[in-house]
Structures are given as C-alpha cells and as structure tokens.
Amino acid sequence: MPRVILGLGPSMTSLDVAVVDANSEALGVPRLLLMENAGRAVADVVAEKTRPGGRVAIYAGPGGNGGDGLAAARHLALRGYSVVVYLLGSGPRDIRSQEARAMYEALEAMDYSVEIVHVRDPARVPVADADTVVDALLGVGLRGAPRSPYREAIEAINEADAVKVAVDVPSGLDADTGEAPGAAVKADVTVTLHKPKPGLYRRPDLVGELVVAEIGVPPEAEIYVGPGDVARRVPKRSWETRKGKAGRVLVVGGSIDYVGAPIIAARAAEAAGVDLVFLASTPNVVEAAAAQRPSIIPVRLEGHPWLHPSHVEKLEPLLRRVDAVAAGMGTGLAEETGEALRLLVEKALEAGKPVVLDADALKHAAGWRSLLGKGVVVTPHDAEFEKLFGKRPTPVTCIPRRIEDAAEAAQQHPGLTVLLKGPVDVIAEATRARLNKTGAPSMSAGGTGDSLAGLAAAMLAKGLDPFNAAAVAAYVNGAAGALAYRELGDSATVMDLLERIPRVLNSPEEAARDAVIYRRLPLRSGC
C-alpha cells in the first residue's frame, strides 16, 4: 500500500500557510507565538552566519513577514549584535498585521540596543553597511512583480556587501510557482518556516542554502480540518459576481416513500451560499420542497414512483448547466433506481461535473464501482463502507488503521475521494488523508448525513477540489451541529443544524470558539 500522508504534505502552498496559521490559533497556539518562534529561528541562523557582536541590518515590510524580521531583531540584540531595522512605510500606522504591530511596539522600547529607520522615500532606501542583511520584506502572499518601495529595497539588499538571509521566501519570488517577474532578492540562505514552499525548489539561484525552521505549529493544525480551511479555501462573492458564478447544484434523490432526505441536502447546499439549487425528484418530493423553500428549483420526475432510467434523459441538459451533483438520498433500492443512478453518474462525469454519492446510491454503486474515480466523492458510514468496498472499516478507536482502510478503498479507484463518517470523519484519497473532529451527540439523529452530502456538492460547485470539498463540508456540517447542540442539547435536529451553516461559513473562527469542537478522543486505544 502506498504511503498515506496525514495532513497537508511535505511542502505548503501560500494558501496552506494561511490555513495552518488560523487552525493553530483555534487550537490555542496564537499567531503571535508562531511569529515569536519564527523570529527566534531566523536569529539562530543569522547567529551561525555572523561573527559575535557583528552588524546586522534587517529590511522589514509592514506585513507578517516584516513581523518575523522585527522579532528576529529583538533576539539578535539580546545576543549582543549591533542591529539596525529599515522599516518600509510612513510609520508604525502602516503595519498591517496585529502580531507585527506587537513586535514593533516591543522593539520600539529597545532604543539603546536597536536602531529603527523609517524608510518613507523609495528613492532613499539605504544600502546597509553590515555583515549580514536580513530580507523580511515580502512573504508568501506576493503575486507579480514587487512595486515601489519594495523594488528599491530589494535592489538595496542585493547591492549590499554582506551575507543575505531571507525570511520564509526571498522577496520577489512567488512561493507557489517559483516565478520572479521583477526584482528579487538573491539570498545566500533562506530560512523557510514550518515547511518548504513549492517555489523554493525551483529557484536555487535565489534561495541559496535552504533551512527549514520549526516554529511550533501543532501537527493537529494540518491533521484536523479547521476554521482556517473554511476561511481560506471557500471563495467569497465579490460585487462583480453574477448569478451562477457562485455555483449551481443538482440534488437527485427521494421517492414516493422518502421525502425529507433530498430536501435536507438541497437546503444544505443553499445554506452554503451557492446561487442555484435544483432538486430532481418525484412530484411528492418537489411539492414538499416548494412548500418549504420556494427558492429551490423543482425538477419533476414523473411516471414512476422512484428514480427510473427514463428520468436521466430529462436530466442530461441540466447536467450541462450545473457545477456539481449530489445523488442517492432517499432514492430507495429498486433495481431500476440503481440503473438510473449508474446512468446519472456516467453522464455527469462525461460532462465533467463532479458527483457526491450518499445513502442509497452507495448501496447501488457496489454493482458499478468501475465508475468510481476522479470527480467522485463517496460519503459512507461504516455499514455503507462495508457494502461498497467489501470490508468493515476499523473502529475509530484505532484511527491510524481506519485511515489506511479509507485510503486503501480510494486506491482501488484512482481519483476517488472517500469521506468515511464517524465520531471522527476520515477524508482520504489514495495518498493523503485528513480528519474532522467537529460534531455533537445530537448528530446521531436522522438527516445529518444528507446535509453533509449537500454541503459537499456545494463546495464542489464553488470550485474546491474533491478532497478539500469533502474536508470542508465535514467540518462545516459538524461545527453547525455543535453550535445547535450547545444551544439546544439533545433536542437539536438537522433543521437546527441547517440554520447554523451560514454562521460557520461566514465567521468560522468565531464559530470554532463558541462550539465545543476539539474533543480529546482515545484515537489509538484500540490499535
């Protein structure tokens, strides 16, 4: 079995960095502490490269990268180095980061040991007379060529006759792509924080020696899906967004016997902020949906009491219009329904539309597993997993083996994403996995799996890849359930969960504080 990476992998994109910072904060490790540790790590490397008592010049921008440099300045002064900080901008009011401002205020009081020079005029960026120059101008968020005054500061750093140490990435280098379309620092050493960024491997001419510095990020900030994933991965509407740009979802489910499940899925997708939700089902289901939510667009599937192969032809034009499909909730187990679901998945994938399969669709899919692969997310609980893949998953008390079970199932179908539900959700592809621990006891009530399927389809429609769509959906569903449980206890229902989805999406960090989310569980006791 190929090795499964639990977390975000051996390197981190700029987006991953923002996610991990926010997730660390939710786990009780604040950004200020991470910045302090980053500054100390940079100071350690500078001390290795600089003679005792030598001269160090730090060029700092007003963002988080600059804050790392300011923290390093304090640590270097404490070690007896002669430190001058060139801070770009018209003054401390330009400092954008709350954490960087705290670092500046601490440094400002050190008027004997550190010199601070405010560089207000781009034409007067000094070339430092120092043994070592630290580049803390621009971090992983840079896109495109640096503008003034950063361009002039980069040129001053390159001109200095000194050892050049870059913080996280050399300024001017795109951390994700390795592109440097304008001025870029040519570092002798780059101290990258927590994990390397992909672009660093592509430009050794700019990076120089690469040092990876740990800054105290808890592994759980990557292992568990957190509020940072919601805040950073889910796109926000802009004023220029027009109808349809925020995603269209088609929910296919229900039957003469089962009414509520597809309506719950459709309502969850709508609560997630997509533009349009279509609900394709038997007349009794779409009429009930219209009575509850007239904003859900009904697609009547007539002539049969449940989903039938003849209905798929009617849905083909709609498949070309939507961005994602959720199917299987309440469809029942009739043989012709299984054939209809097979045709639906086939047509959707041919049209390039990702599909979430839940509930009854998972039972039917055991007969046509060859369709499971890229673009498909399955959301089984333990019994459905066994029906679909022929193996009962390991209980949650041995989470490492449970992860392996989910990943092994995904490996049988390249590109498939498995969201194995439980007290701890496992989200797995063939070689990577993450966990979700949000939830509440009340979520054992009916309907919460249907809301999860609708949320996953909504995340796909918004443009998230299947792995991250499943991970974010699991987090949001569980966090909304936890908020409902905190307010209503065992009386909380899936309808209460649906009402709280917007709060989790709009204020994920606040919701994480208000919901009892991070439970300590014996995840290895059964191994």
pLDDT tens-place string over residues 370-400: 999 999 999 999 999 999 999 999 999 999 9
pLDDT at 21 over 90: yes
Do 207 and 250 belong together in one domain?
no
> Cα–Cα distances in Å, from 340 out to 330, 345, 363, 418, 457?
14, 9, 13, 22, 19
Q: How many domains does the chain have?
A: 2
Confidence of residue 516 (pLDDT cuts 50, 70, 90): low
Query: What sign does the CA torsion over 142, 147, 152, 158 have?
Result: positive
Do 382 and 470 belong together in one domain?
yes
pLDDT at 217 over 90: yes
Label the pairing between strands 82-88 and 114-119: parallel
For 201-215, the pLDDT digits (tens) are: 999 999 999 999 999
pLDDT at 240 over 80: no
252 within a domain of the structure (yes/no)? yes
Backbone torsions φ then ψ of 438, nearest 5 degrees: -75, 155
Do 345 and 424 belong together in one domain?
yes
pLDDT value at residue 186: 98
pLDDT at 64 over 80: yes
Tokens 């509020």 identify what position? Answer: 227
Looking up residue 378, the CATH number of its domain turns out to be: 3.40.1190.20
> Cα–Cα distances in Å, from 235 out to 122, 246, 435?
35, 8, 22
37 within a domain of the structure (yes/no)? yes
34 within a domain of the structure (yes/no)? yes
pLDDT value at residue 521: 74
148 within a domain of the structure (yes/no)? yes
- Indicate whether this model's pTM tops 0.85: yes
Do 266 and 335 belong together in one domain?
yes
525 within a domain of the structure (yes/no)? no
pLDDT at 466 over 90: yes
172 within a domain of the structure (yes/no)? yes
Average pLDDT over residues 174-190: 97
Do 292 and 413 belong together in one domain?
yes
Do 184 and 274 belong together in one domain?
no
Do 412 and 489 belong together in one domain?
yes
Confidence of residue 96 (pLDDT cuts 50, 70, 90): confident
| Structural domain harbouring 151 | 30-216
pLDDT value at residue 457: 98
23 within a domain of the structure (yes/no)? no
Do 70 and 211 belong together in one domain?
yes
For 9-18, the pLDDT digits (tens) are: 999 999 999 9
Query: What sign does the CA torsion over 458, 462, 466, 472 have?
Result: negative
222 within a domain of the structure (yes/no)? no
Do 65 and 210 belong together in one domain?
yes
pLDDT value at residue 3: 87
Do 49 and 159 belong together in one domain?
yes
Do 276 and 335 belong together in one domain?
yes
220, two tokens? 């759980």
Q: Nearest-CA neighbor of 251 among 307, 309, 333, 334?
A: 307
pLDDT value at residue 389: 97
Do 453 and 393 belong together in one domain?
yes
> Cα–Cα distances in Å, from 396 out to 30, 138, 150, 263, 405?
29, 43, 51, 30, 11
Looking up residue 114, the CATH number of its domain turns out to be: 3.40.50.10260
> Cα–Cα distances in Å, from 362 out to 366, 367, 421?
7, 9, 13
